[in-house]
Chain A
Amino acid sequence: MIQEIRDLVSEKLKKLDGVVALRKTDQGTAPTLFQEGDDVSQLVLEPRYPVAKTVSKLQKRFKDAKFGVVARGCDTRALVEMVKRHQIDPDRLYIVGMACSEEQAETCYCAEPAPDLDPWPEADLVGDPVPGAPPNPMVAEYENLSREERWDFWNQQFTKCIKCYGCRDICPVCFCDACSLEDPLWVEPGLLVPDFPMYHLIKAMHMTTRCVACRQCETACPAGIPLTVLYDLIRKDVGNLIGYIPGADADSGPPLSLTLADAPIDSELAK
Chain B
Amino acid sequence: MDYSNTQTICPFCGCGCALNLEVVDGEIVGVLPANDHPVGRGSLCIKGWNAHSFVQHEDRLKTPLIREDGDLREASWEEALELVADKLGSIKSEHGPDAVGVLASAKCTNEENYLLQKFSRAVIGTNNVDHCARL
Contact = CB atoms under 8 A, between A and B. Distances in A.
Interface of A: 17-18, 20, 23, 27-33, 35, 46-50, 54, 57-58, 61-62, 65, 162-166, 169-170, 219-222
A33 B2 contact: yes
Contacts of A58: 3, 24
A196 to B, nearest CB: 18
A262 to B, nearest CB: 38
Interface stretch (B35-43, B72-80, B117-125, B126-134): B35-43
A219 B42 contact: yes
A220 B33 contact: yes
B20 A30 contact: yes
Interface in B93-132: none
B45 A65 contact: no
A58 B24 CA distance: 8
Given A164-B49, A220-B33, A33 B3 contact: yes
A28 B4 contact: no
B37 to A, nearest CB: 6
A49 B32 contact: yes
A165 B49 contact: yes
Contacts of A50: 32
A221 B35 contact: no
B46 interface: yes
B10 interface: no
Given A28-B7, A220-B33, A17 B45 contact: no
Given A29-B36, A31-B32, A47-B35, A222 B43 contact: yes
Interface in B1-42: 1-7, 18, 20, 22, 24, 29-37, 40, 42
**The 3 A-B residue pairs with the shortest CB-CB distance in the complex, in nearest-first order:** A30-B5, A33-B3, A222-B43
A222 B44 contact: yes
Contact of A164 (B2, B32, B44): B44
Contact of B46 (A35, A49, A62, A163): A163
A18 B36 contact: no
Contacts of A32: 3-5
B36 A28 contact: yes
